[in-house]
Structure 1
Amino acid sequence: MIFVPRVDQAEMGKSAIPLLYVWISFNLLAVILLLILVLTFLLSKRVTKRHPSLINVCMTWVLSGIYSLLLFFGGRAKPTDPQPSSSLCIAQTSLLYGILPMWSVAIFILMYFILGIVSGNGRNFGRGKMFVMLGAPYLTQFCFSLAALVLSLKHPSKVNREHRFFYCALHYDPLSNAMSIFTFIVCLGITLLEFQLAMCLYRNWRMRGRAGQSTGIDLQLLLRVFAFGVFIFLGMFVDVVSMFSQRSLAPDMYFAFAGLVTFLVFASQSDVLRAWCFWRKDDPIHVSPADTSRGSGWTNLDLGSEKPNNAPSDFSASLPSPVPAQLAAHVHDLHGRELATP
């Protein structure tokens, strides 16, 4: 049903209002839950530190949820509400045209860093380059939003809710197609990084198996990577649907649900759940010798460990090749162990 193009509320029939409420609920829940998750990453002493690229991904969905709900916050979301002002519509349209490219770039950078940690190649970046990479999603957002703003001011009659039922949108196919093509290309790159990551894990598992050693690869890690990869691949399909059926509700419902998926993937980690269960005492921490023998450079791109006191102040230290057991503990903190500071 949601793949069928819909022109307005009349053609959507009785399903219009329920779908609107579902769409608003998805976005609102994603904003609230992801903000709680980000604050947990940043402030909780019971949670190991996360790499900024992971926090970046969460924040892009927070921003997109806020942009999507501008009509809701302004009391103009329901069809029975007064029509939104032209300035509100143009503001929402301009901001929304940058969220898909922003998402894709943020996830690409996250996967790039994870692949560097898993493969042990060592992504050597100075502080300046690191800031540029972390700022790339927001720069992408700015460029597409600026283009949408210029076109919206030039063609204000094309900015309304008739093109999209849930929010204000600009009916200008060249810009929509450019955004979809850019997002598709970046998502294709993300899929390739996911494939390289899977191959790296497989080679590691095979070599250690031949040596008669424990593989050390946690099943939860594989499930998280696989689930995220499938979701990104599905996003590519939805992106193609949006190019050929720009009034379909499928992309809107998918992207509204994407924030909740991100929350479930990263909030289900053991140390996060332990931090939220504040009434429970921490279990005794056991650190294996392998955990304390890693080089200081390992923590520079770590997604789940604190930086040691004697580590360099920038991101330029090289990364030693991690063993699979460290991968599960450090990248995703799947075992819920706090790492001892060397």
Structure 2
Amino acid sequence: MPLIPNIFAADLPRDEVQYVRTMTILGNTMYIVSFIALAAILGTKWLNKSIKRTITWDLFIASWLLHCITFFLSMGHQVGSSAPSLGLCFVQAAMLYATPVYNACVSLALLLHLHFTIVATVRGISRSSSKKMRILVWILMILPVIVYLAVLLMTFILIAQDRSLLQRDQTFYFCNIKGQVGYAISPLITAFHSYPLPRILTSSILVFLCSVVFIFYEIYTVIILWKNSQTFRAMNPHSRDRVFRSIVFRIGVFTVFPIIALFLSLILSFSATDSWTPSSGMRINVVDASLTLACAIIFGSQGDLLRVWMFWRESSPYRSTQHSQTHSSGPDHARTGGRSRIALDPVVPRVGVKVSTTQIQDTGDGYGWVTKAHVESDIELHLDTVEDTKLEAL
């Protein structure tokens, strides 16, 4: 799977051949870097138990890994006479239309999971409500996969019925179905250039509906967080409120990128309708590749992930820390945790330490809290034993 594409075989001016070659290398590089970064993010979360994320977050990152894999299939067969095999082209063309729908559905599932967790935290969760939440999570996990497989199957059937629809894109960057000008960043653009109707319905309209629902719930979630900010700070001013705000903010920022990409792709697509060239098509492809890189940067720059990667930096044992312990109990596996803020005085040999503990109960999904209680106690520590004391941050 070489990064450098084959020699361009079409009858094009030399400067355009070089431009397409350069843009192909740029697009491939962005996909490879994005794949490595996203795999590192997901692997770090799986291997480090201190990083708490929901299962829908895992699926979100994995969906963009799948997006990268879709374009890996044609690497080594781009901009050249070495065309990919029929089977490889067949699979890539189907994934090309199914993967954007899957990305949209998983993104919506992540936001809905976060939204309902925040709502449950504000209202408090009973045992029956906790069971409903787990059922909801399973639905959010399964539905995107069903939609992906449905679009994939429909595209397979479409190509199997008429293999003449299968072709290499005019940029030679990937395989697609005849009837569209280049590959648009979003299936919304594909609808303007693509046929037949089933592909428009399964790809474009589904992504559009997901986008509308996504924007609605994102605004609604921000309003709930803003109205209940004091409640979250009272539960834990240093942890969960920050996690909620951080994830909502990052999802919001990431939402801006597809909108910008959609706008740019529309300009590039319609400006190239009358005088389309491989160069103009490759600009759209590079815009698409930038989405995966943006995802890796936005969701890989969270503080807990960065602290794991910065293994050479150790926190001082003398500063104020947070300590938490969790355990499973009961049939619903609810977790009980405590947070202690310990202030140490490094001047005197023996210090009095006042420990203020906040006990909480969550639903086990990595976010929601239900109850809280404050416990204060005084203890004594010798300074010569402080260095041997390991305090874990939440």
Aligned with 1:338: secondary structure? coil
CA distance in 1, matches of 2:231, 2:74: 55
Identify if the C-alpha distance between structure 1 residues 201 and 53 changes in structure 2 by more than 3 Å, giving closer, same or farther.
same
Of 275, 278, 286, 1:253 maps to 286
Check if 1:142 corresponds to 2:132: no
Aligned residue for 1:35?
Answer: 39
Which deviates more from structure 2 when the two are superposed, residues 34-43 or residues 287-296?
287-296
Aligned with 1:160: secondary structure? strand
Comparing both chains, which one has the higher relative contact order based on Cα–Cα distances under 8 Å and sequence gaps of 6 or more?
1
Aligned residue for 1:157?
Answer: 164
Pairs within 5 Å for 1:1-342: 10=12, 14-45=18-49, 47-72=50-75, 75-77=76-78, 79-119=79-119, 120=121, 121=123, 124=130, 125=132, 127=134, 129-163=136-170, 165-171=172-178, 173=195, 174-178=197-201, 179-205=203-229, 223-234=249-260, 237=263, 252-284=285-317, 285-287=321-323, 288=339, 292-297=358-363, 299-302=364-367, 320=370, 338-339=393-394
Q: Is the 8 A contact 1:241 1:251 kept in 2?
A: no
> In angstroms, what is the RMSD of aligned CA positions?
3.6
Q: How many Å apart are 1:94 and its aligned residue?
A: 1.2
Q: Is the 8 A contact 2:31 2:289 kept in 1?
A: yes
- Partner deviation per Cα, 1:142-179 (whole Å, 9 max, x = no partner): 11111111111222122111355320001252244221
* Higher percent of residues as strand: 2
Q: Is the 8 A contact 2:112 2:217 kept in 1?
A: yes
Q: Is the 8 A contact 1:177 1:243 kept in 2?
A: no
Q: How many Å apart are 1:224 and its aligned residue?
A: 2.4
Which deviates more from structure 2 when the two are superposed, residues 233-242 or residues 274-283?
233-242
- What is the count of residue pairs matched by the alignment? 295
Q: How many Å apart are 1:233 and its aligned residue?
A: 3.9
Instruction: Name the larger-Rg structure.
Output: 2
Identify if the C-alpha distance between structure 1 residues 134 and 223 changes in structure 2 by more than 3 Å, giving closer, same or farther.
closer
- Compute the TM-score of the two structures, normalised by the length of structure 2: 0.64
Aligned with 1:76: secondary structure? coil
Q: How many Å apart are 1:101 and its aligned residue?
A: 0.6
Structure 2 stretches lacking a partner, 5+ long: 1-9, 180-194, 324-338, 341-355, 373-391
- Compute the TM-score of the two structures, normalised by the length of structure 1: 0.73
CA distance in 2, matches of 1:115, 1:86: 44
Structure 1 stretches lacking a partner, 5+ long: 1-7, 303-317, 323-336
CA distance in 1, matches of 2:371, 2:216: 21
- Partner deviation per Cα, 1:3-39 (whole Å, 9 max, x = no partner): xxxxx88496542111111111111111111111101
Identify if the C-alpha distance between structure 1 residues 202 and 23 changes in structure 2 by more than 3 Å, giving closer, same or farther.
same
Aligned with 1:80: secondary structure? coil
* Higher percent of residues as helix: 1
Q: How many Å apart are 1:295 and its aligned residue?
A: 1.5
CA distance in 2, matches of 1:180, 1:232: 14
Percent same amino acid among aligned pairs?
A: 19
Q: Is the 8 A contact 1:188 1:236 kept in 2?
A: no
